[in-house]
Copies of this chain bind each other. A is one copy, B any other.
């Protein structure tokens, strides 16, 4: 099972989180995951090239915004909502609220339930 690096939440810094969200696709991914559910890259990616989606998920993960869980051959992505809420209270809600208003939504993302 592949191991993915996740920074400790106390090491997550504001510039990195802002950088992770400074891209229309990554904002869309974050909006799609804001319900707290896990999704695979395929479920999130829609028409995006797999390598492109892998890159964007890596940026979100390394910034501390996203957690990847391996299960068998599949990887499930989710936002680190509770940890981020504790570290930067209200930040993600605030940013994703604007992201939705501005139309950065992942129309292709499908719910897993």
| Contact assessment for B27 and A104 in the assembled complex, using a CB-CB cutoff below 8 Å | no
Select the stretch in A42-50, A71-79, A92-100, A105-113 that faces chain B: A92-100
Most buried by B among A13, A22, A88: A22
Which chain B positions have C-beta within 8 A of A90? Answer: 94
| Contact assessment for B98 and A91 in the assembled complex, using a CB-CB cutoff below 8 Å | yes
User: How many positions in chain A have a CB within 8 Å of any CB in the partner chain?
Assistant: 20
Distance from A57 Cβ to chain B, minimum over Cβ atoms (Å): 17
Which chain B positions have C-beta within 8 A of A22? Answer: 15-16, 18-19, 22
8 Å CB contacts to B: which residues of A10-67? 13-16, 18-19, 21-24, 27
User: With A15-B24, A23-B15 in contact, is A98–B88 under 8 Å at CB?
Assistant: yes
Q: Does A1 contact B (CB under 8 A)?
A: no
| Contact assessment for B23 and A104 in the assembled complex, using a CB-CB cutoff below 8 Å | no
